[in-house]
Amino acid sequence: MRPGKNTGLAIRGPVLGKHMHKSMIVAIGLTQLTWGEETAGGHARVALLVSSSTYQSGKTLQAAVSIEYEPGWHGYWVNPGEGGMKTEVKWTLPPGWTAGPLQFPVPHREMTGGLSCYGYAGKILVPVRFTAAADARGDVEIQGKLSWLACNDKGCVPGEAGLKVKLGAGAELPGGDADLIRKACEALPVVDEKVKLAVEEKDSNVHIRLTGVGHLDLEGAEIFPVTEQALDPGAPILLKKSADGFETTVKKNEYAKRRIDTLELLVAGVGLKKALLVAWKQKG
């Protein structure tokens, strides 16, 4: 939470964890870790869903973490904004297995005690892909520990819960969650190699320009900064038509380093079939 800024949030036990946004002091009250197919606590219910109840050695298995926040509560995206905490997971996998990153859907703007944040309310599915060991055999179990922060206008409560799924070896056997997981994957942001991002800093502002977008409808599209503490999240960042593409100017984040050298953005709009991921890196 910004020093000296009165947000009206109730502080029920100030703790600043290593995964917590440095501007946020939140309430303590971790839920007891419970291993099971579906667990609740921290004002959210979570579960690990798999597209198949079986796996094949050396091949990938598509899965998703289901998170459903209680009414009136919200959680956070990979960039929590002015206040909040990332939703993260630590996996315990069978020998030789690997897990890809959590792939979050397009966020919404949320308010936490007067702070502008990026996150989710209601229920979301967060796809994740596992790769079985080349020599994997027999029944296996995937376990994980999910941590998140749920907030409303009165305060925030961190949650922690166990995820677990058992898999048997064999040909793919789609389960009842396969279609839900497929739709969640189809809705994820994509990279369009035609789209180019240019970034220019001037004083305390950052000018953003997208070119190579003639095949896209970006009018009124909104930018969500994937890169933390780069752009000010205080107001929606909306694109406007320019001579050769779309552009906008936004205030630099007060916690940004002296010079922004990399920037990744998510671009979402009603005219886009899929949200876009674009990235820029300072030359030299």
pLDDT surpassing 60 at residue 34: no
Give me 246's structure tokens: 């779309």
pLDDT surpassing 90 at residue 30: no
Over pLDDT 90: what percentage of the chain?
74
pTM for this one?
A: 0.85
Q: What is the distance between the alpha carbons of residues 50 and 63, in angstroms, rounded to a whole number?
A: 4
Average pLDDT, stretch 24-28?
33
Q: Three-class SS string for the chain?
A: CCCCCCCCCCCCCCECCCCECCCCCECCCCCCCCCCCEEEECCEEEEEEECECEECCCCEEEEEEEEEECCCCEEEEEEEECCCECCEEEEECCCCCEECCCCCCCCEEEEECCEEEEEEECEEEEEEEEECCCCCCCCEEEEEEEEEEEECCCCEEEEEEEEEEEEEECCCCECCCHHHHHHHHHCCCECCCCCEEEEEEECCEEEEEEECCCCCCCCCCEEEECCCCCECCCCCEECEECCCEEEEEEEECCCCCCCCCEEEEEEECCCCCCCEEEEEECCC
Over pLDDT 70: what percentage of the chain?
86
Residue 179 phi, psi dihedral angles, 5° rounding: -70, -40
pLDDT surpassing 80 at residue 209: yes
**Given this model, what pLDDT does residue 167 score?**
97
Q: How confident is the model at residue 255 (pLDDT cuts 50, 70, 90)?
A: confident
Q: What is the distance between the alpha carbons of residues 282 and 200, in angstroms, rounded to a whole number?
A: 10
Average pLDDT, stretch 86-114?
94
**Given this model, what pLDDT does residue 1 score?**
35
Q: How confident is the model at residue 114 (pLDDT cuts 50, 70, 90)?
A: confident
Which of 208, 66, 214 lies closest to 144 in space, CA to CA? 66
Asked if 81 and 233 touch (Cβ cutoff 8 Å), the reply is yes
End-to-end CA distance of the chain: 35
Average pLDDT, stretch 99-115?
92
| Mean per-residue pLDDT of the chain | 86
Higher pLDDT, 112 or 204: 204
**Given this model, what pLDDT does residue 16 score?**
31
Residue 150 burial (CB count, 10 A):
27
pLDDT surpassing 80 at residue 118: yes
DSSP class of residue 274 equals: S
pLDDT surpassing 90 at residue 99: yes
Q: How confident is the model at residue 19 (pLDDT cuts 50, 70, 90)?
A: very low
Quick: pLDDT tens for 161-189: 999 999 999 999 998 899 999 999 999 99
Average pLDDT, stretch 211-239?
94
Q: How confident is the model at residue 28 (pLDDT cuts 50, 70, 90)?
A: very low
Higher pLDDT, 226 or 15: 226
Average pLDDT, stretch 91-103?
98
**Given this model, what pLDDT does residue 88 score?**
96
**Given this model, what pLDDT does residue 61 score?**
97
Domains (range + CATH), the chain: 38-186 (2.60.40.10), 196-281 (2.60.40)
**Given this model, what pLDDT does residue 38 score?**
54
Residue 273 burial (CB count, 10 A):
7
